[in-house]
Amino acid sequence: MSRTPAPQRANAIALLEGGGLIRLRDLQRAGVGPETLSRLVREGVATRPARGLYQLAGAAIDARHTLAEASALTSKAVVCLTSALQFHELTLQMPSAVWMAIDRAAWKPRIEYPRIRFVRFGTKALSEGVEHHTVEGVSIAVFNPAKTIVDCFRYRNKIGLDVALEGLREGLRSRKVTPDQLWQFARQARIWSVIKPYLEAMVADGA
């Protein structure tokens, strides 16, 4: 018979079943103590995919799972570049790390898992074109498709021009972006002259 206090155990399992990834502090606020969590992990009822995060063992995991893990462990960071392209289904690339944007003056979090690559954005650039989604109970901030594609051209030396072009092509093909949206973000980022010839060629070819 388990020696875990019944109310704590029931509360923990109920939260894990209903919320996907749950942060340690949220479990503690619900009255679930560390010993209860440790016992559930030892029993194989729950898993700890990253420090400070718990989920029900055997929970279904999709491609967005790592984004949820990263977002739960970071504050004021926004999913960007290849990871945002993947989120919006605009690339077949599988990034080896989660790309996240943080403020130029912000403290860079030290996270062992999941692997995160931080990119520093100016305060204005970090606040524009941000969407909020919920994945596995975690709120995720991610740049919208048009902003993401423009940022991929800005950071093409980091992620590769081929990735930026794939995002542009898929964004136009799927109609998730319009030339006007791209022009707006590219003008703000002062990179319109770089994107313009590729955009015009793809529009002429029907993307």
In order along its 207 residues, the chain shows pLDDT tens digits of 444 456 888 888 888 777 567 778 788 888 888 888 888 888 888 887 767 778 787 665 566 888 988 998 887 899 999 999 999 999 988 888 899 999 999 988 888 888 899 999 999 999 999 999 998 888 999 999 999 999 999 999 999 999 999 999 999 999 999 999 999 999 999 999 999 999 999 998 876
**pLDDT value, residue 162:** 95
**pLDDT value, residue 182:** 97
> In sequence order, what DSSP letters do the residues of 51-75 get, joined into one string?
TTEEEETT----TTHHHHHHHHH-S
Q: Which two tokens stand for residue 4?
A: 């875990």
In this prediction the pTM is 0.73
For residues 113 and 174, membership in a common domain is answered with: yes
Where are the alpha helices (H) located in 20-144, listed in sequence order?
24-29, 34-42, 65-73, 81-87, 123-127
**pLDDT value, residue 115:** 87
For residues 102 and 177, membership in a common domain is answered with: yes
For residues 200 and 164, membership in a common domain is answered with: yes
> CB-based contacts of 36: which residues, under 8 Å, 6+ apart?
4, 5, 8, 9, 12
Q: Which residue range(s) make up the domain with 159?
A: 65-205
Count of domains forming the chain: 2
Residue 1 placed within a domain: no
CATH code (residue 16): 1.10.10
Phi, psi of 184 (to 5 degrees): -60, -50
For residues 101 and 192, membership in a common domain is answered with: yes
Residue 28 placed within a domain: yes
Distance CA 74, CA 89 (A): 23
For residues 109 and 184, membership in a common domain is answered with: yes
Residue 102 placed within a domain: yes
